[in-house]
Amino acid sequence: MNVGGKPWLQTHWDWHVAVNFLTGGSGSGLLLVAALGALAGQPLAAPTWLGLLLIGGGLAQVMLHLGRPLRGLNALFNPRTSWMSREAFVAGPLLLVALLAALLEWTLLGLLAGLLAVAFLYCQARILKEARGIPAWREPRLLPLILATGLVEGAALYLLVALLGGWHEATLGASVLLLVALVTRILAWRGYRKALQGNAPNEALRALERAEAPFAGAGHVAPVLLLVVAAGVPSAQAPLTALAGLMALLAGWGVKFAIVTRAGYNQGFAIMHTPARGAGTGGLGSKPGW
């Protein structure tokens, strides 16, 4: 039986909103890793400036998406129930503290910025999870995937900054952190994909399936191999390590873009039990598109 009402792709959150999840997650992860690096005596300013630029750029894209940017102030009025409001409340102190940390290069300010960055990233993950009408977003296992992706992207960006700055000790530490984060992210991805089977529309599952090969292969297997080879070939260490970081970063952006813009199918309509005339028992119902 086909009653129509198949799930359709939401269009309210377009690439503008997706950019906020992409660069906001990367910037948050970078501020956290920069804080850890500062504890080890590494420079704080350069990665902090980059983290600020990424987070601020993502928030600016959301403002442009609104059409009337001043409407964004409405996000401040509902912090008790809205994770968007909580993201906005965290964003202000985060940007201010990170700015001061970059200007003054105080480790304590860097640590505070890192903690606020984790809170900002958590708010972003919860924004997706609380979208009850989108099965691919409301799945609880998306939360650890978004957090792990932010950590991978932050480690990858810090690695690239360290290579450009010639920070040899920071490069080694960031490489190890990136390896650990990559393992964490692929495990989170597997858990997310497994949990969605049978719990999301077919089109959403197909969109994620198309994203899986480049995400797993180019975003995990290849970077790990590059990092391992780089450790054994000192003469090629810098370019191999940089390529590994870039691939890990772009893979995270790609999968988040797919989740937000291509897998965002709503659940559609369903008849759980088909009514019957008279004394009939009725049918099994229908759930089109699943």
Residue-wise pLDDT for 176-211, tens only, equals 999 999 999 999 999 999 999 999 999 999 999 999
Which residue from 131, 148, 119 is spatially nearest to 200, judged by alpha carbons? Answer: 131
Q: How many Å is the Cα radius of gyration of the chain?
A: 21
- What confidence tier does 13 reach under pLDDT thresholds 50, 70, 90? confident
Which residue from 50, 22, 244, 49 is spatially nearest to 149, judged by alpha carbons? Answer: 22
Which residue from 256, 1, 216 is spatially nearest to 121, judged by alpha carbons? Answer: 256
Non-local (6+) Cβ contacts of 247 within 8 A are 218, 219, 222, 223, 226
Please list the alpha-helical segments (H only) found in the chain: 15-39, 45-65, 83-104, 107-129, 135-138, 142-165, 168-196, 202-213, 222-232, 237-261
- Please check the confidence at residue 265 and state whether its pLDDT lies above 50: yes
The CA distance from 58 to 30, in Å, is 14
Task: Decide: pTM greater than 0.75.
Answer: yes
Backbone angles phi, psi at 9, to 5 degrees: -75, 125
pLDDT one-digit tens code per residue, 37-51: 999 999 999 999 999
The CA distance from 171 to 57, in Å, is 26
The residue extents of the domains of the chain are 15-261
- Residue 9 DSSP one-character state: B
- Residue 279 DSSP one-character state: T
Average pLDDT, integer, range 220-235: 96
pLDDT on residue 2: 40
Average pLDDT, integer, range 52-61: 94
Class of domain 15-261: mainly alpha
The CA distance from 277 to 255, in Å, is 48
Amino acid occupying residue 266: N
- What confidence tier does 278 reach under pLDDT thresholds 50, 70, 90? low
